[in-house]
Structure 1
Amino acid sequence: MTTQVTDHKGGVWSIAVPIPDNPLGHTLVHLLETDRGPVLIDTGWDDPDSWDTLVAGVTACGFGLTDLHGVLITHHHPDHHGLSAKVREASGAWIAMHAADTAVVRRTREAEPGQWLDYLLTKLAAAGAPDDHLAPLRKARATGGGRKLPGRRAALPDRGIDPGALLDLPGRRVRAIWTPGHTPGHVCLHLEEEHPSARTPGFGRLFSGDHLLPGITPHIGLYEAPDDGLGAHDGAHEGESLREGTDPLGDYLDSLERVGRLSPAEVLPAHQHAFTDAGGRVRALIAHHEERLARLRALLQEPRTVWQLAETMEWNRPWEQIPYGSRNIAVSEAEAHLRRLVKLGHAEGVPGSDPVTYRAVG
Structure 2
Amino acid sequence: MKSRRRPYSEQRPTDAGGGVWSVPVPIPGSPLGYTLVYAIESPAGPVLVDAGWNHPEAWLALRDGLSSIGMDVREVRGVVVTHYHPDHAGLAGRVREESGAWIAMHEADIAMVKLLRGFDAGGHREFRADMLRRAGAARVEVEEVSAHQPRPPALPDRTLHDGDLIDLPGRRLRTVWTPGHTPGHICLHLEDAGRIFTGDHVLPAITPHIAVYPYDRADVDPLSDFLESLEKVAALGDLEALPAHEWVFQDTAARATEIHTHHEEKLVRLAALLAEAGEPLTIWETAARMTWNRSWEELSAMLRGMAAGEAAAHLRTLEVRGVIRRTPEVDPVRFALHS
TM-score, length basis structure 1: 0.86
Q: Structure 1 residues 41 and 112 mapped into 2: Cα distance closer, same or farther (>3 Å)? A: same
Distance of 1:223 and 1:331 partners within structure 2: 10
Question: Are the aligned partners of 2:136 and 2:332 in contact in 1 as well (CA < 8 Å)?
Answer: yes
2:204 to 172, 195, 214: 214
1:56 to 57, 61, 64: 64
| Residue aligning to 1:188 | 187
1:103 to 106, 111, 136: 111
Question: Does 1:324 pair with 2:295?
Answer: no
- Kindly report which structure 2 residues correspond to 1:76-91, keeping only aligned pairs within 5 A, or say none: 76-91=84-99
1:282 deviates by: 1.1
Structure 2 residue identity aligned to 1:207: F
1:6 deviates by: 0.9
Question: Are the aligned partners of 1:3 and 1:56 in contact in 2 as well (CA < 8 Å)?
Answer: no
Distance of 2:292 and 2:254 partners within structure 1: 23
Distance of 1:75 and 1:58 partners within structure 2: 21
| Residue aligning to 1:41 | 49
Larger radius of gyration: 1
| Residue aligning to 1:342 | 319
Question: Are the aligned partners of 2:83 and 2:89 in contact in 1 as well (CA < 8 Å)?
Answer: yes
Question: Does 1:273 pair with 2:247?
Answer: yes
1:223 deviates by: 4.6
Structure 2 residue identity aligned to 1:249: L
Question: Does 1:117 pair with 2:125?
Answer: yes
What runs of 5+ residues in structure 2 fail to find an aligned partner?
A: 1-8
1:267 deviates by: 0.1
Distance of 1:3 and 1:130 partners within structure 2: 40
Distance of 1:149 and 1:4 partners within structure 2: 29
Q: Deviation string for 1:130-177 (max 9, x for gaps)?
A: 23323557xx8xxxxx7x84124x211110111111222110001100
Distance of 1:179 and 1:75 partners within structure 2: 10
The residue matched to 2:198 in structure 1 has which SS? Answer: strand
The residue matched to 1:13 in structure 2 has which SS? Answer: strand
1:297 to 271, 296, 301: 271
1:360 deviates by: 1.2
The residue matched to 2:313 in structure 1 has which SS? Answer: helix
RMSD, matched Cα: 1.9
1:90 deviates by: 0.7
Question: Are the aligned partners of 1:127 and 1:356 in contact in 2 as well (CA < 8 Å)?
Answer: yes
Distance of 2:60 and 2:335 partners within structure 1: 49
Distance of 1:77 and 1:135 partners within structure 2: 22
1:46 deviates by: 1.0
1:3 deviates by: 6.7
Distance of 2:167 and 2:331 partners within structure 1: 52
Distance of 2:86 and 2:327 partners within structure 1: 38
Distance of 2:57 and 2:143 partners within structure 1: 35
- Kindly report which structure 2 residues correspond to 1:62-211, keeping only aligned pairs within 5 A, or say none: 62-135=70-143, 149-152=149-152, 154-194=153-193, 204-211=194-201
Between 54-63 and 282-291, report the one with greater CA deviation.
Answer: 54-63
2:25 to 10, 17, 30: 17
- Kindly report which structure 2 residues correspond to 1:239-318, keeping only aligned pairs within 5 A, or say none: 242=218, 245-301=219-275, 302=278, 303-318=280-295
Question: Are the aligned partners of 2:239 and 2:251 in contact in 1 as well (CA < 8 Å)?
Answer: yes
Question: Are the aligned partners of 1:85 and 1:155 in contact in 2 as well (CA < 8 Å)?
Answer: yes
What runs of 5+ residues in structure 1 fail to find an aligned partner?
A: 141-145, 195-203, 225-230, 232-237
Question: Are the aligned partners of 1:183 and 1:223 in contact in 2 as well (CA < 8 Å)?
Answer: no
Q: Deviation string for 1:170-223 (max 9, x for gaps)?
A: 1000110000111111000000013xxxxxxxxx10000000000011100125
**How many corresponding residue pairs?**
328
Distance of 1:307 and 1:170 partners within structure 2: 49
